[in-house]
Amino acid sequence: MKITSAEIYPLSIPLIEPIKMSRENIVDAKTVLCCITDEHGRKGWGEASVAPLMTGETLDSLVGSIEYLIQGCMELDWKEPKDFTGLFNRVLYANASAKSCLEMALLDLYTQTLSVPLWQFLRSANNATKAELPTPIPLLRMLGGSLDKELNDAKVFSELGFRHWKIKIGSLSLDEDLHRVKVLSDALAGDVISVDANCALSLVDAIRFCESEEASKLTFAEQLVSTELSVGDFALLKNKSPIPICLDESIHGISEIKRFIDADVFGGASLKLTKTGGVIQALSCANFLHAGNFKLNLACKVAETSLSAAATASLGFALGAVDWGFSMSNQYLRFDICDEPLKARHGHLDVAQLASSGVGITPNLDRVKEVIAKGYAAIQC
């Protein structure tokens, strides 16, 4: 399998409403799609969103890295998905999101040639060749805005079947956040409720938060403190916290997972394809976590389209269990780039929404071209 041509599309898609996190206020999805063509004229699609605070990649750098990577990969023969990362690394150091974007497009092509869906290929790679279809994956819904709005959203989405929640914290005072968490935990009692501070709390505040009665009903607390803190600080937080600690920004791949397991600093991790450099590496991370009885949630960056959601969901379907939920961020987009966007059904995503071969979502090129980011253009390789 060879790449004979490719197009890169830098996109900006408005969100339904802004999403406020501790260190950024997101109003649109800055995401990059690539479409590669093989020697038989088949097309494969990949996607990665910018995540300056998670991978260091901006729209400019991501587009540049993807273009550089594709040009360096044109002459190569793509045979075994397990070898893709090694081949990328011979062309470009680091830049996990760019590699994730191209890997997704290559896997889309590869599984189309096998006439199987990506999730099934991944499940076979995991030696889990069950005949029956995977169970639907629970979707995680983010809560934000005023407390009244959060309570209203919690009610509305609870009635739609959602049972997994994420409360963003860290942009208000600790006492205000604790109050929100208590009120929402009471309203959603029995559900899987989490908070995510995106690194914003000091170690002292993080310990106080976790030890507070107001936070006692949380299922887990994600990335409360900065990645810059020492492993000893992370260990102290984990030891003091009655709530399981989840790491997101601190985890980019298997080596960090192994190091943090050895240091006993967490109870689970959030995996994103843009951090691990793609689906195959993310599967290795997930298997390693499961083998050690650690929990995980799967997440798209806020926000990615149905394409990235399908690839991330394929990982979940292959794993069979996503205890801490799947944060499918296309639900926050004002519109999507395909004719039939992935949708929550009773708070879950079911495998029947994915096509029967490839990643499972094919973008509509006209829609893609409508949302090219201002000041950018499609790039031909």
List residues near Mg ion by CB under 5 A. Answer: 196, 222, 248
Task: Name the minimum Å distance from CB 278 to Mg ion.
Answer: 19
Phi, psi of 84 (to 5 degrees): -60, -45
CA–CA dist 277, 48 (Å, integer): 10
Whether residue 188 contacts residue 154, with contact meaning beta carbons closer than 8 Å, is answered with yes
Q: Which is nearer to Mg ion, 299 or 307 (CB)?
A: 299
Give the CB-nearest residue to Mg ion.
Answer: 248
Cis preceding linkage at 303, omega within 30? yes
Query: What SS3 class is residue 165?
Result: strand
Strands of the sheet containing 326-327, edge to edge, are 140-143, 164-168, 192-196, 220-222, 245-247, 268-271, 295-299, 326-327
Q: Which is nearer to Mg ion, 121 or 266 (CB)?
A: 266
Q: Which is nearer to Mg ion, 8 or 251 (CB)?
A: 251
The letter for the amino acid at 101 is C
CA–CA dist 96, 295 (Å, integer): 23
Q: Which is nearer to Mg ion, 246 or 354 (CB)?
A: 246
Q: How many CB atoms lie within 10 A of CB 266?
A: 25
Q: Which is nearer to Mg ion, 99 or 272 (CB)?
A: 272
Q: How many CB atoms lie within 10 A of CB 375?
A: 8
Q: Which is nearer to Mg ion, 298 or 373 (CB)?
A: 298
Task: Name the minimum Å distance from CB 248 to Mg ion.
Answer: 4
Q: Which is nearer to Mg ion, 51 or 87 (CB)?
A: 51
Which whole-number Å values give the CA distances from 108 to 125, 279, 308, 322, in the listed order?
15, 11, 11, 23
**Torsion of Cα atoms, 344 then 349 then 352 then 354, to 10°:** 90
Task: Name the minimum Å distance from CB 247 to Mg ion.
Answer: 9
Task: Name the minimum Å distance from CB 274 to Mg ion.
Answer: 12
CA–CA dist 95, 152 (Å, integer): 39
